[in-house]
Homo-oligomer: A and B are copies of this chain.
Amino acid sequence: MSGPQAPEPTLEGQADASAGSPDEDAAEGIQHSHRMLSFSDALLSIIATVMILPVTHTEISPEQEFDKSVQRLLATRIAVYLMTFLIVTVAWAAHTRLFQVVGKIDDTLALLNLACMMTITFLPFTFSLMVTFPEVPLGIFLFCMCVIAIGAVQALIVLYAFHFPHLLSPQIERSAHRGLYRQRVLGIIVRGPALCLAAAGFSLFFYPASYLLMAMVIVLPHVSKAAGWCRAQLVGPREPPAHSVEVFTFDLHEPLSKERVEAFSDGVYAIVATLLILDICEDNVPDAKDVKEKFQGSLVAALGESGPHFLAYFGSFATVGLLWFAHHSLFLHIRRATQPMGLLNTLSLAFVGGLPLAYQQTSAFTKQPRDELESVRISCAIIFLASIFQFAIWTTALLQEGETLQPSARFGGREHAFMFAKLALYPCASLLAFACTCVLSSFSTAIFHAMQIAVPFAFLLLRLLVRLALAGLRALRGLVGPVLARPAPGAADEAQSPLLPAPC
């Protein structure tokens, strides 16, 4: 990145040339939105993942049977977690689109954004209230109020930005149809909250209608989209309107900003990796009194008691870390993230957020051999789902590879096969572990965690082997000298080994 002697202000170096020098902007009170957006991404990713905590903290004491009431409680909480994750992701996507329209911020917009964040952080609570008491209208009323408040703040942001057009993105600022843009953007933002207002009204005297309206909020855009697609297939595409070059399509077909998808994903991975150590720091520092009484003062024995927890932690961290690594490699080769890719990414992240549950499952049941295999299987399933959706992002990207991928990752590119191997690693490994639980009766959580820790090393070993094999292959072709020193990516080289991974 920047040199160590004189770190350049890279952030402000990204300023559009048309927007004047960064210092001039700062003097006017106008600021680039980069840092505010990263902060919002961090907040939203944490909020999306937070609701896994009630799931992992569901207490199942060893003597208590895993009966129906516990099962129902657990199922409810998992449903709350998944739905919260999706709701917060939708709010995040709306936020992303909003700040593709609003290009710069000033103090007022920064404060309005904070107000918006505060309301969003409250969504999970109202939602879990709604699920815990489905027959009490208060839950859905509060939830609707939250959505309305978010919509109101976002509408305020849009109105403010259109009132000071230098805050808009340059494309819209220069457009002649600015008023038209404002109508469209406002219309899209207000649509959901308006339905929620009706739902809140109904909740006061006939609450089932509220649930119906809420369902409409979710289903309606997809139905209209599907209808449009069907009509296009039957009748042929509609004539674009007269000023089509100018009309800004602020809707769901637009690709999301790749930078923000990455920031949001990073936040989820980071919080998941650290939720694990959080539990360890809270629960596994032995009590001084306990050590004296139960372990005759031997700290080693007391720590040995929670040894499986540490093994489980390292195993889970290795898994989360390597999943992040695969995500990171994947997005290095992606040029832009389309809507289906964004959806698949959300699903993958939702299961990554479930990994602390996998950790808790596999570390809590270590004393009950009967449940041990069961919990390893659950872990395998969660890891499999998280990684298979990553793989699906990749295959979806390949469908439109010209638009979405860097040339080196496309079919026939240098990195294609290697990328494939990286993404296939975890689906295969988790399937293998699942198969082991069925075949080997002596399979245990300890072996499972050891496997988790071994995967990165296996990966590095694989790389080394591939590298050696490649070097051997090239030696056979009489290309040893120039390649081993430092491979220069020449056109001739590329043509000769189109499907082999890069050696470095």
Interface size class of A (residues with CB under 8 A): 35 or more
Q: Which of A37, A39, A170, A322 gathers the greatest number of chain B CB atoms within 10 Å?
A: A39
Given contacts A1-B259, A50-B277, A54-B282, 17 further A-B contacts (CB under 8 A): A2-B259, A4-B171, A5-B171, A11-B262, A14-B14, A23-B407, A26-B333, A26-B409, A29-B503, A36-B328, A39-B266, A39-B269, A39-B270, A42-B42, A115-B456, A124-B277, A164-B486
This protein's copies in its complex: 2
Residues of B within 8 A of A128 (CB): 281, 285
Residues of B within 8 A of A14 (CB): 1, 10, 13-14
**Mostly helix, strand, loop or mixed at chain A's interface?**
helix
- A103 interface residue (CB < 8 Å to B): yes
Contact in complex: A28, B502 (CB < 8 Å): yes
Contact in complex: A27, B415 (CB < 8 Å): yes
Contact in complex: B111, A408 (CB < 8 Å): no
Contact in complex: A51, B118 (CB < 8 Å): no
- A223 interface residue (CB < 8 Å to B): no
- A60 interface residue (CB < 8 Å to B): no
- Which candidate, A132-140, A227-235, A374-382, A436-444, is the interface stretch facing chain B? A132-140
Contact in complex: B248, A4 (CB < 8 Å): yes
- A211 interface residue (CB < 8 Å to B): no
Closest to A46 in B: B274
Contact in complex: B111, A504 (CB < 8 Å): no
Residues of B within 8 A of A1 (CB): 14, 32-34, 37, 99-100, 103, 169, 257, 259
- A255 interface residue (CB < 8 Å to B): yes
- A393 interface residue (CB < 8 Å to B): no
Residues of B within 8 A of A414 (CB): 27
Residues of B within 8 A of A4 (CB): 97, 100-101, 169, 171, 248, 250, 254
- A117 interface residue (CB < 8 Å to B): yes
- A108 interface residue (CB < 8 Å to B): yes
Contact in complex: A27, B108 (CB < 8 Å): no
* Residue in contact with A24 in the complex, picked from B28, B34, B324, B489, CB distance below 8 Å: B489
- Which candidate, A151-159, A313-321, A356-364, A471-479, is the interface stretch facing chain B? A313-321
- A182 interface residue (CB < 8 Å to B): no
A47 to B281, CA, bound (A): 10
Q: Closest Cβ of chain B: how far from A411's Cβ, in Å?
A: 15
A250 to B291, CA, bound (A): 45
- A65 interface residue (CB < 8 Å to B): no
Q: Closest Cβ of chain B: how far from A12's Cβ, in Å?
A: 9
A170 to B132, CA, bound (A): 58
Q: Mark A390-433, 1 if CB is under 8 A from B, else 0.
A: 00000000000000001111000111000000000000000000
